[in-house]
Amino acid sequence: MADLRIGMIGYGFMGRAHTNAFKRVPNFFPGLKHTPVLQAACGRSEDNVKQFAAQWGYASVETDWRKLVERDDIDAVDICVPNKMHKDIALAAAQNGKMIFCEKPLAMDPAEGEEMVAAVEKAGVANTVWYNYRRVPAVTLAKDIIDSGRLGRIYHYRSNFLQDWCISPDVPQGGPATWRLEVETAGSGVTGDLLAHCIDTAIWLNGSIANLSAMTETFVKERVHVDSGQAQPVGIDDACSFMCRFANGSLGLFESTRYACGHKALFTFEINGENASIRWDLEDLHRLEYFDHEDAGPLRGWRSIHVTDHGGDHPYMDKYWVPGLQIGYEHSFLHQAADFFEALEKNQPCHPTFRDALETQQVCDAILKSAESTSWTNIQ
Ligand SMILES: NC(=O)c1ccc[n+]([C@@H]2O[C@H](COP(=O)([O-])OP(=O)(O)OC[C@H]3O[C@@H](n4cnc5c(N)ncnc54)[C@H](O)[C@@H]3O)[C@@H](O)[C@H]2O)c1
């Protein structure tokens, strides 16, 4: 058994989700050779980060991420801060020989992403990006089904990520709670935030995207900035739709918005193949629906598979309770952490790596360029 000492940068939504995962890995994946140790948490406010460290069990705190990445007693850095900080932290961490967990999107744009890929590959440090939905058991099962060839040739891929929290024009931009609405901090709006998840999952399940045509819209053109208290132009995309052609010849349709009144986190995908279709919905995340074209008779219809069985049929589930009892959102992070440690033992990459995530970044960039130019765009 080897300790793997974690330095966590950021203690918001993802800081908590990842910390929970690191704490639970040894309990639910006891065979792993690495044990995550909560060595240090980093945030700008000493009081706040001390409170977080006490609540979640970190041994020490830092208020400057540069100090944290230089510490000899840190093996892996976890980047859980707004997008504009990912690159600088990753480059410094790689230079100091640290393994890196990085939140998505990898970077602000592909140029930053390329620098990050070059840095981790040059340093030879283990790296992964938290596109965690790959590790929801029903989504992993979808991957197994597709890879087994049961769907046959894929014709269509459809995916949405719908929210509604920006409908009010009174929601501000910038600051600690609404940095996602400030383009200088987020890089883009729903494209890098929500569609990036749909795209990562799509590339994983159905292969690369060859070209696309996109449209974006910013419905509320000005919002008060938290820092200045003044109304300022909004630079992010509030909504985005795109159609695309995958390298395997299938057609894709994607939509994301923060203005779909009534939807909080409706992430869905549906795939139609020549033999069968599958579909999934984050708000019912332990179910995978399957329609087999071979089924005949009056009982023909969609099957709803409760992905909670043991015995290896349903990924990850034999680590938990008894068949039929479900797990939740937070376990997708636990699975990625466990897979990272297992990959480390085998001296293999833990996907998605920085290089994998760069492909998603390139698709996001092509979306923004296509929307801007109102033309079809090839993926570089
Ligand atoms: N994988 C997912 O499903 C998922 C979900 C949410 C967010 N994210 C990504 O995670 C990252 C963080 O998002 P979040 O929702 O946790 O944000 P958040 O606003 O909840 O937390 C951000 C944290 O960063 C800290 N921070 C900001 N500037 C800092 C600095 N200079 N030094 C140290 N700490 C600093 C803040 O204090 C806060 O603790 C983003 O890149 C986001 O896109 C991914």
Q: 3-state DSSP call for residue 140?
A: helix
pLDDT digits (tens, 9 = 90+) for 202-227: 999 999 999 999 999 999 999 999 99
Instruction: Read off the pTM.
Output: 0.97
Q: 3-state DSSP call for residue 301?
A: coil
Complete DSSP assignment for 199-249:
HHHHHHHH--EEEEEEEEE-SS-EEEBTTT-SEEE--S-SEEEEEEEETTS
Which structure tokens are listed for 37?
């140790």
Residue 268 in contact with residue 159, Cβ under 8 Å? yes
pLDDT digits (tens, 9 = 90+) for 2-16: 999 999 999 999 999
Mutation probe of ligand 1 site: the residue of 11, 13, 191 with most atoms within 8 A of C-beta: 13
Query: What phi and psi values does residue 72 have, to the nearest 5 degrees?
Result: -70, -20
Mean pLDDT of 195-202: 98
Mean pLDDT of 21-29: 97
Q: Is 1 a residue whose pLDDT tops 80?
A: no
Q: Is 372 a residue whose pLDDT tops 90?
A: yes
Query: What phi and psi values does residue 251 have, to the nearest 5 degrees?
Result: -105, 140
The CB of 65 under 6 Å from ligand 1? The reply is: yes
Q: Which of 212, 177, 173, 204 is nearest to 189 (CA)?
A: 173
pLDDT digits (tens, 9 = 90+) for 87-125: 999 999 999 999 999 999 999 999 999 999 999 999 999
Helices (H) and strands (E) in the chain, counts: 11, 17
Ordered alpha helix ranges (H), the chain: 13-28, 46-56, 65-70, 86-95, 110-123, 137-147, 183-186, 190, 196-206, 330-345, 354-373
Q: Tell me what pLDDT residue 355 has.
A: 98
Q: Is 380 a residue whose pLDDT tops 80?
A: no
What is the pLDDT of the chain when averaged over all its residues?
97
Question: What's the rounded Cα separation, in Å, for the pair 277 and 293?
Answer: 8
Mutation probe of ligand 1 site: the residue of 103, 163, 183 with most atoms within 8 A of C-beta: 103
Which domains are present in the chain? 2-132 (3.40.50.720), 133-378 (3.30.360.10)
The residue behind tokens 């995309």 is 237
Mean pLDDT of 288-305: 96
Strand partners, 273: 154
Query: What phi and psi values does residue 173 have, to the nearest 5 degrees?
Result: -120, 160
pLDDT digits (tens, 9 = 90+) for 131-159: 999 999 999 999 999 999 999 999 999 99
- The share of the chain scoring above pLDDT 90, in percent, equals 98
Q: Tell me what pLDDT residue 242 has.
A: 98
The CB of 130 under 6 Å from ligand 1? The reply is: yes
Query: What phi and psi values does residue 119 have, to the nearest 5 degrees?
Result: -65, -45
Q: Is 249 a residue whose pLDDT tops 90?
A: yes
Question: What's the rounded Cα separation, in Å, for the pair 270 and 276?
Answer: 11
Q: What are the C-alpha distances in Å from 275 to residues 37, 88, 155, 166, 201?
A: 47, 47, 10, 40, 21
How far, in Å, from the CA of 297 to the mean position of ligand 1? 51
Q: Tell me what pLDDT residue 311 has.
A: 85
How far, in Å, from the CA of 212 to the mean position of ligand 1? 29
The CB of 104 under 6 Å from ligand 1? The reply is: yes
Question: What's the rounded Cα separation, in Å, for the pair 90 and 371?
Answer: 30
Mean pLDDT of 323-338: 97
Q: Tell me what pLDDT residue 312 has.
A: 84
The closest residue, in CA terms, to atom 33 on ligand 1 is 43
Confidence tier at 319 by pLDDT (50, 70, 90): very high
Q: 3-state DSSP call for residue 254?
A: strand
Question: What's the rounded Cα separation, in Å, for the pair 194 and 196?
Answer: 5
pLDDT digits (tens, 9 = 90+) for 68-93: 999 999 999 999 999 999 999 999 99
